[in-house]
Each structure stands twice: as structure tokens, then as C-alpha cells.
Amino acid sequence: MEGLKIRNLIGTIKAFAKTNRPILGICLGAQLMLTKGYEFGEIEGLDIIAGKVIPFPKFKNADKVPHIGWNKIFPFNKGRWNDTIMRSTGVNMHVYFVHSYIIETKNKDNILALTKYGDINFASVIKKGNIYGCQFHPEKSGPDGLTIIDEFIKFVKING
């Protein structure tokens, strides 16, 4: 957020988001879309999607934070991937994560996909209108991740 503030981009990004033109936030970019984050103290986010970014809760098993590596994503509600950037991807596909904080949306309807890590399910893809956020790195996730980016590009051509 400090980098966006220094570059005077916060107002521009918020104004663009209000147009409901497509946006894709990846990893930190997805986290910045939320109302508030707690990575370096309490930090105001862009508040494009209501919610907060919090540290992983304590695990009951041996999983470690940061969450680094390949993991599955699956739909939050069946059928919700239709007509989204996830429509051409398989259920339970593997994508690449590098993070220590997770997204908690205020409205569960903003959750498009989940991932299970340890004993915790967390939002791995969020959506509000034409605005998407991926907690993982699609650009590092092989052919499936590139399919998500390709679908976003098609989505921009139609809706942008």
C-alpha cells in the first residue's frame, strides 16, 4: 500500500474498480483489494472487496507457514465457475502458492475457490463483479495457471 501511495495510484485504482472493468490481482495484488490487512501492523487496503487479510491461524498438525508450493483449488460452490475466468480449469487443479497470510471476505459470495492447507480452508480465488483476485500465482502454475490468465484476457476483450 505504501508503494501505491507514494506513486499516487490508490485513487486511480479505486476509480478504475468502480467502473467494473476487469481487474486481476495476483497474490499480494489480491490481498491489497481487501479493506484491511495485518501483515505489518494494521494497514488500510483498497477496500474494493470487503474483508481482511490475516495470518494463517494456528495449525493442529505439522503444516508450516509460509505456505509454499503446489496445492489444489476447488470451487466454493459448485457451478460458480461458469462464466468466470475459472470456467476452463479443472476442479481440484494444482496451483503454486507462496504466502503467510490469507484472505477473509466479509461476504462469502465473493469467494470463488478454496484451498485446504493443514486443517484450514481458505479463499484462493475471490471475485466481485468483474474484479478477481488469486491468492496463488497463476503465472507460475503451469498450463492450468496459464489457462486462467488466458481466460482473463478473453474476459477483458469482452468486458473491458
**pLDDT one-digit tens code per residue, 128-157:** 999 999 999 999 999 999 999 999 999 898
Burial label, 67 (beta-carbon count in 10 A; 0-12, 13-18, 19+): buried
Cell numbers representing residue 33 in the block: 483489494
The reply to whether 67 belongs to the active site is: no
Cβ distance 21 to 36 under 8 Å? no
Cβ distance 127 to 77 under 8 Å? no
With cell 474494493, the residue in question is 48
Q: 90 by DSSP, 3-state: which?
A: coil
What mean pLDDT do residues 119-134 have? 95
Q: Which residue in 2, 27, 67, 94 is the catalytic one?
A: 27
Instruction: Identify the band that residue 90 occupies on the pLDDT scale cut at 50, 70 and 90.
Output: confident
The reply to whether 137 belongs to the active site is: yes
CA distance 136 to 122: 11
Q: Convert 21-60 to b/e letters by CB count within 10 Å (16 or more is b).
A: ebbbbbbbebbbbbbebeeeeeeebbebbbbbbbebeeee
Instruction: Identify the band that residue 123 occupies on the pLDDT scale cut at 50, 70 and 90.
Output: very high
What mean pLDDT do residues 61-88 have? 87
Tell how many helices (H) and how many strands (E) occur in the chain: 4, 10
The reply to whether 134 belongs to the active site is: no
Please report which helix (H) or strand (E) contains residue 144, including its range: helix 142-159
DSSP state of 109: G
Cβ distance 118 to 85 under 8 Å? no
Q: Which residue in 2, 44, 139, 151 is the catalytic one?
A: 139
pLDDT tens digits for 2-60? 999 999 999 999 999 999 899 999 999 999 999 999 988 899 999 999 999 999 988 87
What mean pLDDT do residues 73-78 have? 87
Q: Which residue in 39, 94, 104, 137 is the catalytic one?
A: 137
Q: How wide is the angle at C-alpha 142 spanned by C-alphas 146 and 56, nearest 5°? A: 95
CATH 3.20.20.70 for domain 25-159: no
Q: Is the pLDDT of residue 62 over 70?
A: no
Phi, psi of 28 (to 5 degrees): -60, -35
What mean pLDDT do residues 67-93 have? 88
Flag whether the pTM goes above 0.85: yes
Q: Is the pLDDT of residue 78 over 80?
A: no
What mean pLDDT do residues 63-78 have? 90
